[in-house]
């Protein structure tokens, strides 16, 4: 590999440029190539795109995308792989390591140093908008079973319920998985009372941002889509009125019995 | 309350100014008062302190600190409550809501709109340095039992183990709690093989940053202190050699049986 090449996996945060880390910005500025899912490349602020070469690809081709980025870096190019949120959370960082370590990986890929620049993941952003629902122990689970069996997802959702953890759900629903969200909520409703606070954050940090706070008993799952992150409270999470009467959610730092 | 007063809870991120969100910076710039634990006020970049009035306090007086911030905002002042990391994760955001909602809260506090500015929490930063250990479902648990019974901590650690979640542990040890980390790891070792990757991130993003990658079987708990975040891999998490032979850790996006 050329000594000049490098590969950084960068998170844009949820979308609002005020949530883009300075290190993410400077890494993109130093790159010659931006590699990512089309939708995320479109989120890169225009002043940062400049004359950088864009390599957009479709969703669900993460390993091919990672291979392209490794090829470019191994050839001496400066490459930023673009994710939204934090690239280490259900995103491209793990995919780049997987591609590099695959049995059929090009030997030159092993010479590429992979740098990961952290970011604000969707659950933290939705939580901030709603109040402080993640103020106590919590769990992040992706409901997508494209790459894992549904049984392990159920096991994890059940574990979060039984251990009274706040639960943030990523990728709750897609065209290919229309019924699983309801199945997951059957499990959740079996463990949590109807008054449990639920936060639905859709496109948080983007122009169409929508944050809803509802009680579990009145939750309408049909408003959730792939761009929604769902936060289900624990038994201690509370909905309280904000200064203008709007609902705010927080999980106290203390737990009964302390 | 004066119409001019406001209260924002702001996270500095782990400490590196390149990980400070632009919105956190601009919020601090707009504030007249910075309220926080001494150690975190010391982390505010000098150019941001300016002539702002600093209200430092000791650790473990979160509710008194929150009350001071609410008093100032209710009196018309512009107040930033400073946390490290993300203020919504085991930090001041929940404490400010708790203080506002307490039975003995001053009526004027209820009129204060609480804004939360998200940030990069320690586990995401340590994960980025180590590779991508949080690339799959995971769980964040604070080991401090100052405000919750040890029994619920054990229940949550056990749940994470049984559901094969990656587990990030905050506040692993303190002078007042010298033995609990070992107790938690007895539980972890009963569920995970000795080859399980463990990441120890101490002061990540600060001048004395230290990131260690070890296998569970050779983990020496005595190197962990209150400033360490510990990430315990799932059964699929791997240690692989980086470009310079240094250990990197990632959790593949796929899970056996998919």
| Chain B contact for A49 (CB, 8 A cutoff) | no
pLDDT in tens, B8-36: 999 999 999 999 999 999 999 999 999 99
**3-state SS record for chain A:** CCCCCEEEEEECECCCHHHCCHHHHHHHHHCCEEEEEHHHHCCCCHHHHCCCEEEEECCCCHHHHHHHHHHHHHCCCEEEEEECECCCCCCHHHHHHHHHHCCCCCHHHHHCCEEEECCCCHHHHHHHHHEECCCCCEEEEECCCCCCCHHHHHHHHHHHHHCCCEEEEECCCECCECCHHHHHHHHHHHHCCCCCEEEEEECCCCCCCEEEEEEHHHCCHHHCCCCEEEEECCCCCEEEECCCCCEEEECCCCCCCC
Question: Would the pLDDT of B174 be above 90?
Answer: no
Tell me, what's the pLDDT at A3?
62
Using the beta-carbon criterion (under 8 Å), do B97 and A250 form an inter-chain contact?
A: yes
For chain A positions 127-146, those within 8 Å of chain B (CB to CB) are 127-129, 131-142, 145-146
For chain B positions 56-95, those within 8 Å of chain A (CB to CB) are 62, 86-91, 93-95
pLDDT in tens, B184-216: 999 999 999 999 999 999 999 999 999 999 999
| Chain A contact for B255 (CB, 8 A cutoff) | yes
Using the beta-carbon criterion (under 8 Å), do B97 and A257 form an inter-chain contact?
A: no
Partners of B120 in beta bridges: none
| Chain A contact for B163 (CB, 8 A cutoff) | yes
Kindly report the average pLDDT of chain B as a whole number: 96
Tell me, what's the pLDDT at A1?
46
pLDDT string in tens for chain A (258-residue length): 456 899 999 999 999 999 999 999 999 999 999 999 999 999 999 999 999 999 999 988 999 999 999 999 999 999 999 999 999 999 999 999 999 999 999 999 999 999 999 999 999 999 999 999 999 999 999 999 999 999 999 999 999 999 999 999 999 998 888 889 999 999 999 999 999 999 999 999 999 999 999 999 999 999 999 999 999 999 999 999 999 889 999 999 999 998
Task: Residue B244: list chain A partners with CB under 8 A.
Answer: 113
- For residue B222, the distance in angstroms to the closest alpha carbon of chain A comes to 24
Question: Would the pLDDT of B1 be above 80?
Answer: no
Tell me, what's the pLDDT at B175?
81
Using the beta-carbon criterion (under 8 Å), do B95 and A238 form an inter-chain contact?
A: no
- ipTM of the modeled complex: 0.97
| Chain A contact for B7 (CB, 8 A cutoff) | no
């Amino acid at each position: 590999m050329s000594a000049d090449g490098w590969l950084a996996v960068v998170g844009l945060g949820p979308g609002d440029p005020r949530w883009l880390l300075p290190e993410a910005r400077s890494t993109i500025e130093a790159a010659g190539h931006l590699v990512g899912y089309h939708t995320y490349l479109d989120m890169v602020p225009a002043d940062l795109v400049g004359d950088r070469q864009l390599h957009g690809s479709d969703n669900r081709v993460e390993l091919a995308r990672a291979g392209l980025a490794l090829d470019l870096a191994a050839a001496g190019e400066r490459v930023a792989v673009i994710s939204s949120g934090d690239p280490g959370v259900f995103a491209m960082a793990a995919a780049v390591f997987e591609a590099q370590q695959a049995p059929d990986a090009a030997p030159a890929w092993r010479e590429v140093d992979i740098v990961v620049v952290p970011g604000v993941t969707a659950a933290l952003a939705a939580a901030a908008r709603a109040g402080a629902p993640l103020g106590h122990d919590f769990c992040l689970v992706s409901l997508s079973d494209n790459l894992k069996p549904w049984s392990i997802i159920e096991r994890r959702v059940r574990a979060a319920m039984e251990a009274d953890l706040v639960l943030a759900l990523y990728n709750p629903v897609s065209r290919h998985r229309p019924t699983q969200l309801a199945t997951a909520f059957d499990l959740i409703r079996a463990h949590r009372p109807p008054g449990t606070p639920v936060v639905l954050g859709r496109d948080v940090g983007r122009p169409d941002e929508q944050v809803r706070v509802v009680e579990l008993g009145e939750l309408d799952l049909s408003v959730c889509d792939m761009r929604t992150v769902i936060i289900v409270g624990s038994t201690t999470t509370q909905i309280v009125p904000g200064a203008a009467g709007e609902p705010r959610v927080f999980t106290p730092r203390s737990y009964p019995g302390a």
